[in-house]
A and B are shown apart, each in its own frame.
Chain A
């Protein structure tokens, strides 16, 4: 389709920026309360015993409501990792990072699911699946979401 380009309206920008306010719910509230106190709180399925961290209200495998809280250690294992050279920028496209960031998917000891956070410390070349790490908390973080600051090798 050939044209000389639109002369009058190049691209209609939709004026509304949607802002969604999600309630974190009782389970994530308790998870964040735990983090403030330096604890990792997960939940256990009453049927299969699967431990969810971060906590999930429902065990989809058993179609059951999780109700037993368990405290998990800050130590875990890297299930997978990636060295990020980019991030999703303000415009929704991939923008180069000034310095690469190592991102890990970490399964805490006693948990069956993973948390995703930065890993600091190791030379990215030395990062590996199965690497043992410990969580570093920053209780002075401005946002409650950032209390889990990153993981370091142990």
Chain B
């Protein structure tokens, strides 16, 4: 993609397990922070897209009360009931339509106020799976992990290596929820077993928080900032229900990545991508993502991890922020990957900054066992 739409501002709240604030205040904090980051006022925003979920918010058309804290009063406002990463695609299209120049995207939820694992259960086939009480997002991910381990000869210890890498990285990220600077594989392997092989520290921590990203057309981006982060490519793919597709690989992520790379003119991802922020709800999904994103060959995810390449000081750092294992706000976790990738391109990531980032990849997912995947390629001037 030519320089058509840029990220010009972003903000995340600190992530907590039970924040002492309403979701409206979280949204206000993210919105005001993103405007401050862009150096613009509310008046400059043409359209606001929120990513939130009626079920999780306990309110029908839950975006209607986000008009006030998002600054959307009397503006064009709409909602994406998926992760905010998809809302970025939607906002980008609204800008490309020519009708809007500046869009604010905000993702929010509070796991502390909804029954954490019920929304996942509600996505199951209602005529059979949902009623039988066996499947939920964790047990489904366990089936995915086992299928992947069996197909690729991966061990639980290797999967634990992802948790160790990411949660140690998270110690460098002041916003992260799980900050564990001295975590070891043994610690992960002795954490509470949920559904084998998934233990507590291989699984996302239910989190409260919000994230906001501001997008602008090329003309407006030039007025707003000297360092726009351009959306160079995006790819999106939606696979089958979990019992109707192979679980040992992330087929739709591979397809989404190929589409994003084609748009960005990238033929060798491992060489061209300087940092990746991957939406790994479970540790094994990051290994699977390495393969789907073309960072290594099929079945070579654990070898790539063990080579050290994806460490924060490696040749292709993945999740320097700590990723979704460090904080996972439903509807904002993929969006946070985009904000973190933009932060890296701008060189504003502080203690978890990767050196010399020109091109960054951000990934978001929705659905059981990463049913839908979206990939963004971001780059500076």
- Which residues of A line the B interface, CB within 8 A? 1-3, 5, 11, 14, 20, 22, 24-25, 28, 52, 54, 56, 60, 79-88, 91-94, 101, 103, 105, 112-118, 124, 128-130, 143, 145-146
A20 B126 Cβ-Cβ under 8 A: yes
A60 B240 Cβ-Cβ under 8 A: yes
**In the complex, B97 has a CB within 8 A of chain A:** no
Nearest CB on B from A107, distance (A): 9
Task: Give the complex CA separation of A1 and B138 in angstroms.
Answer: 31
- Which residue of A22, A82, A92, A124 contacts B143 across the interface (Cβ within 8 Å)? A82
A79 B247 Cβ-Cβ under 8 A: yes
Q: Which residues 135-178 of B have a CB within 8 angstroms of A?
A: 135-136, 138-139, 142-144, 146-147, 150
In the complex, which residue of chain B has the Cβ closest to the Cβ of A93? B116
* Residues of chain A with a CB closer than 8 A to B98's CB: none
**In the complex, B182 has a CB within 8 A of chain A:** no
- Which residue of B25, B113, B131, B243 contacts A113 across the interface (Cβ within 8 Å)? B243
Task: Give the complex CA separation of A133 and B322 in angstroms.
Answer: 41
Nearest CB on B from A66, distance (A): 12
Nearest CB on B from A27, distance (A): 9
How many chain B residues touch A (CB < 8 A): the figure is 42
30 contacts between A and B (CB under 8 A): A1-B19, A1-B20, A20-B126, A24-B127, A25-B127, A28-B128, A54-B128, A79-B147, A82-B139, A82-B195, A82-B197, A82-B198, A85-B192, A85-B193, A85-B195, A86-B138, A86-B195, A87-B133, A88-B118, A92-B117, A93-B116, A93-B117, A94-B116, A101-B134, A105-B247, A112-B244, A113-B244, A116-B134, A117-B134, A129-B146
- Proximity bits, B1-33, A CB within 8 Å = 1, else 0: 000000000000000000111000100000000
B20 A3 Cβ-Cβ under 8 A: yes
Task: Give the complex CA separation of A11 and B58 in angstroms.
Answer: 12
Nearest CB on B from A111, distance (A): 10
In the complex, which residue of chain A has the Cβ closest to the Cβ of B143? A80
- Which residue of A22, A24, A84, A112 contacts B139 across the interface (Cβ within 8 Å)? A84
B20 A82 Cβ-Cβ under 8 A: no
Known A2-B20, A88-B136; 8 more pairs at CB < 8 Å: A81-B143, A82-B139, A82-B142, A84-B134, A94-B194, A116-B143, A118-B134, A146-B132
Task: Give the complex CA separation of A24 and B135 in angstroms.
Answer: 18
